[in-house]
Amino acid sequence: MNIILASKSPRRTEILSLMNIKHIVIPSKEEEKIEKQLSPIEVVKSLAFQKANSIAKDHPDDLVIGSDTIVVVNNEILGKPKDYQDAVRMLQLLQNNTHQVMTGVSLIKGNYIDTFVDIADVTFNKMTEEDIKKYLETDKPFDKAGAYGIQDEHANFVQKISGDYYTIMGLPKEKLQIHLNEIL
């Protein structure tokens, strides 16, 4: 049995490697479908399931891990920024505020499906326009929900984290290990 990560995220690969989980990467090419009436938790669970299921269909004997991360602030879901201006808007919303990072994970092996969510709270310091501009020029947050990476070298605007650091990075290490222990 192979363990397949249905994501091209280098951060998720890094987390699985830290957990000593040998895996192969087969990114989902599925077009993400989000139903507007769903709650943020239901959205992130649905996205994780869609990714895992798109790969699991062709790999019924393997364990497929699908994952998705969103940022929620003031009931608004922030995915990856569309462009530079969208990234600025997101960081302005997040600065001097506490938001939630939700990572959904879906484990599929044959008929076995286990989908769960982990949530971490992140508080940002106040950021000036110059801080935002410098961060966007220095780091490349355009492939990250909420336009920032907690692990980025210049992410010094994070004041406080409550929850699993790895949930914010894209894969909840502790919770994932518990769920994997049930299936492996």
Q: Which of 11, 5, 6, 34 is nearest to 148 (CA)?
A: 11
Instruction: Note whether 64 and 30 are within 8 A (CB).
Output: no
Which of 183, 162, 163 shows the shortest CA–CA distance to 115?
A: 183
Instruction: Mark whether 152 is an active-site residue.
Output: no
> Which of the residues 62, 68, 118, 164 is marked catalytic?
68
Can you tell me the distance from the alpha carbon of 6 to that of 44, in angstroms, rounded to the nearest whole number? 15
HSE of 55, CA atoms in CB hemisphere, 13 A: 27
Please list the active-site residues.
Answer: 68
